[in-house]
Structure 1
Amino acid sequence: MTNRKLALIKQLVKIPSPSGNTTQVIQFVENYFNELGVTTKRSRKGGLIATLPGKNNDEHRMLTAHVDTLGAMVKEIKANGRLKLDLIGGFRYNAIEGEYCQIETATGEVFTGTILMRQTSVHVYKDAGTAERNQDNMEVRLDAKVSSEKDIRALGIEVGDFVSFDPRVQVTDNGFIKSRHLDDKASVAILMEAVRQVVEENTVLPYTTHFLISNNEEIGYGGNSNITPETVEYLAVDMGAMGDGQSTDEYTVSICVKDASGPYHYGLRKHLVALAEANQIGYKLDIYPYYGSDASAAIRSGHDIIHGLIGPGIDSSHAYERTHIDSLEQTEALVKEYLKSDLISY
């Protein structure tokens, strides 16, 4: 089970999917569900909904995780034969300095490159270490013989082409997973595995349950639609943010009590805690001060639902991230217990 989940994560993070260009990864997940015989449909926004029927079809649940990632677009083709970027998602330029990347043209051709400061060489630039890491100073060095704007355009590269980052995924012998885009492809793998287990074990869930694989979470609106009127509870499975003052770690499941959108549903939070304690699942309660989820997006869009947020603890979010297999296992265990549990009273 663990090896299968890790293999899924490796496959997912290697599929380029910056917000706005997620067709390939959505197709991958759709194929996975269809091979299990699970009913799926696409939203007009390009997301995917998989549905498992339950004993009660009058009240539904929805769980969500997102496959879209941080990325960039070509902002400008520079006269020196390099590219200026415009970022997709909430991260800083210093998080991608020195990173390998790929540029996908509108015709589907792919070129590789490296994201660097214009003032990288210490032998040339006195301010190589102190210059601000921003849009004006950072650029993409293409792996192509180009030295002008004309050279780049001759390759077919244009403003608006999507740029994705090399995930550099590694799994250590002692159980750490290091990669970009663990936010939120680690959680997508957890939901995919949870669906597989329900199907293979012929489990009948207490309520019809939808699994939304959203594709615009990083830009704020991935999970705010395609929620059935019967949906009572909506649980986002996304990363737990780590850092100074946070209780979340890489070995337990993080249960979010509040983020930038405000508190999550108190009753659902207590229900998740009770499930964790009853089943010896390691968990931490936490507040993420600069964070929003698909669940909070759904609330903001006016859906009358009970909303919650859990996920594996991820270190260095929106940079080169890391978690541990223990956190993935604890998160998956809580998801499985939640799927079997009763709805909370409201």
Structure 2
Amino acid sequence: MTKLPDIDAEYLKETLAHLLSIPSPSGYTDIAARWVTEELDRLGIETELTRRGAIRARIAGRASQPARGIIAHIDTLGAIVREVKENGRLALAPIGHWSSRFAEGARATIFSDAGSFRGTILPLKASGHVYADDIDTQPVSWKQVELRVDMPIYSREDAERAQLGIGDIVAIDPQPEFFDNGFIVSRHLDDKAGAAALLAAIKALKEADAEPPVDTIFLFSISEEVGVGASSLLTHDIASMVAVDNGAVAPGQGSKETGVTIAMGDMTGPFDFHLTRKLIGLCEEHDIRHQRDHFEHYRSDNASAVEGGADVRTALITFGLDASHGYERTHIDAPFSVARLIAAYALSSVTIKRDAEELGGLEGFPDQPTKAARGSKGRRAD
């Protein structure tokens, strides 16, 4: 059994805290992309950026094929100004899919042509002293909230003089808290905890001078929350891709805030049979706490890659996240376990060598089990 390099838990937490401090809603990710690239350079990893700032980082293996991809995203949820209202407040549309219920009361930064401003997202009826019980019965909708800017702005003309306008990006304060018992509470843990786990695994592999059996390409996408993160990010040599993202913790779900959760499928369908079970086998081999889950209302960078035409095997490993796309919580054990599994996967031997070629015959093509399990044989009804 290959010994795994040690994951630096303190580095993982410090990296997560720094990533959370950088505002990066989809469409406003340049600063985060710059920081991640500089951190990869510091770790001694060769990097390249796409035009819009998605990142590729490669650790060369003993062979170049079939290359592996491991991806996390550094963009987050946010909002965009859709109207400057007569009262000078800003109507918003969401960036990504999240409820205005979680936006109400949020502190935020607005990035305009004149610079940044601070403000609060409020329901249209925000004061019980004025609206009485109406504050509890108004609908939950993005059309029912507005952004109050902390400036003397009381009309549309005031807002326009301040150079606030349609299209300005709004970043929501993460408000992170790291507890001594291991719990982490913050907005935007999706997917900055995944990106931190990916960086921690890269650091461990580099410091151990570990050489993967094949080239491993670490990817950081910048538009997963709007559905197109990996659509043009993969290189043609990547034969399999493991996405790192959140796993929704809720009644009826298998995800937990500890260990790593292996997703068996999501709203796009089942993940690759062989790659998924390889990851489960690596958890068992290296004593990594794990569980399985299926996500009915969920998609990841895998979906955009396949929809973009990539012929890759896909799998999804997650850190359990309570109240995803809201005020989120996980435990450090979850991204730590994810980082260990990333390292284990990067160092594992290639199971399906035929994947080195884009096309081929049946030789080397894998099988799926069809033999009946012991004790499960039945009689066919005539």
Aligned to 2:69: 62
How far apart, in 2, do the equivalents of 1:237 and 1:45 lie? Answer: 21
TM-score (norm 1): 0.98
Superimposed CA distance per residue, residues 147-187 of structure 1 (whole angstroms, 9 cap, x where no aligned partner)? 01111111111110000100000001111000111000001
Aligned to 1:294: 301
Aligned to 2:348: 341
8 A contact 1:268–1:344 mirrored in 2: no
Q: Once the 2 structures are TM-superposed, how far is the Cα of residue 260 of structure 1 from its aligned partner?
A: 0.4
Aligned to 2:156: 149
Q: Which one of 229, 241, 246 corresponds to residue 239 of structure 1?
A: 246
Aligned to 1:196: 203
Superimposed CA distance per residue, residues 35-91 of structure 1 (whole angstroms, 9 cap, x where no aligned partner)? 122111111232111111111113200000000000000111111121100101011
- Residue 207, structure 1, aligned to residue 214, structure 2: yes
How far apart, in 1, do the equivalents of 2:44 and 2:333 lie? Answer: 30
8 A contact 2:54–2:233 mirrored in 1: no
How far apart, in 1, do the equivalents of 2:323 and 2:137 lie? Answer: 22
How far apart, in 1, do the equivalents of 2:113 and 2:72 lie? Answer: 27
How far apart, in 2, do the equivalents of 1:293 and 1:176 lie? Answer: 24
- Residue 124, structure 1, aligned to residue 130, structure 2: yes
Q: Once the 2 structures are TM-superposed, how far is the Cα of residue 241 of structure 1 from its aligned partner?
A: 1.2
Aligned to 2:271: 264
Corresponding residue SS for 1:123: helix
8 A contact 1:113–1:140 mirrored in 2: yes
- Residue 174, structure 1, aligned to residue 181, structure 2: yes
Corresponding residue SS for 1:5: helix
8 A contact 2:87–2:156 mirrored in 1: yes
Identity of aligned residues (%): 37
Q: Which one of 302, 317, 326 corresponds to residue 333 of structure 2?
A: 326
How far apart, in 2, do the equivalents of 1:344 and 1:218 lie? Answer: 32
- Residue 82, structure 1, aligned to residue 89, structure 2: yes
- Residue 98, structure 1, aligned to residue 105, structure 2: yes
How far apart, in 2, do the equivalents of 1:219 and 1:39 lie? Answer: 28
Q: Which one of 11, 22, 40 corresponds to residue 47 of structure 2?
A: 40
How far apart, in 2, do the equivalents of 1:128 and 1:226 lie? Answer: 45
Corresponding residue SS for 2:315: strand
- Residue 138, structure 1, aligned to residue 145, structure 2: yes
8 A contact 2:201–2:340 mirrored in 1: no
Aligned to 1:9: 16
- Residue 254, structure 1, aligned to residue 261, structure 2: yes
Which amino acid is the alignment partner of residue 128 of structure 2?
V
Aligned to 2:228: 221
Let me know the Cα RMSD of the aligned residues: 1.1
How far apart, in 1, do the equivalents of 2:351 and 2:138 lie? Answer: 53
| Structure 2 unmatched runs, 5+ | 1-7, 353-365, 367-382
Superimposed CA distance per residue, residues 267-315 of structure 1 (whole angstroms, 9 cap, x where no aligned partner)? 1111111110111111110001111111122112221111000011011
Q: How many residues align?
A: 345
How far apart, in 2, do the equivalents of 1:118 and 1:151 lie? Answer: 19
- Residue 115, structure 1, aligned to residue 121, structure 2: yes
Corresponding residue SS for 1:218: helix
How far apart, in 1, do the equivalents of 2:62 and 2:298 lie? Answer: 35
How far apart, in 2, do the equivalents of 1:106 and 1:192 lie? Answer: 33
How far apart, in 2, do the equivalents of 1:278 and 1:58 lie? Answer: 24
Corresponding residue SS for 2:340: helix
8 A contact 2:12–2:336 mirrored in 1: no
How far apart, in 2, do the equivalents of 1:37 and 1:333 lie? Answer: 20
8 A contact 2:24–2:171 mirrored in 1: yes
Corresponding residue SS for 1:25: helix
TM-score (norm 2): 0.88
How far apart, in 2, do the equivalents of 1:272 and 1:35 lie? Answer: 29
Which amino acid is the alignment partner of residue 122 of structure 1?
G
Aligned to 1:29: 36
Corresponding residue SS for 2:350: coil
Of 86-95 and 133-142, more deviation after overlay is shown by: 133-142
Q: Once the 2 structures are TM-superposed, how far is the Cα of residue 136 of structure 1 from its aligned partner?
A: 2.5
How far apart, in 1, do the equivalents of 2:75 and 2:18 lie? Answer: 14
How far apart, in 2, do the equivalents of 1:91 and 1:316 lie? Answer: 11
Corresponding residue SS for 2:62: strand
Q: Once the 2 structures are TM-superposed, how far is the Cα of residue 202 of structure 1 from its aligned partner?
A: 1.2
How far apart, in 2, do the equivalents of 1:165 and 1:323 lie? Answer: 19
| Structure 1 unmatched runs, 5+ | none
Which amino acid is the alignment partner of residue 119 of structure 2?
G
8 A contact 2:276–2:315 mirrored in 1: yes
Aligned to 1:307: 314
How far apart, in 2, do the equivalents of 1:276 and 1:238 lie? Answer: 17
How far apart, in 2, do the equivalents of 1:335 and 1:266 lie? Answer: 18
How far apart, in 1, do the equivalents of 2:327 and 2:90 lie? Answer: 22
How far apart, in 2, do the equivalents of 1:39 and 1:106 lie? Answer: 34
Superimposed CA distance per residue, residues 229-248 of structure 1 (whole angstroms, 9 cap, x where no aligned partner)? 22111010111111121010
Corresponding residue SS for 1:184: helix
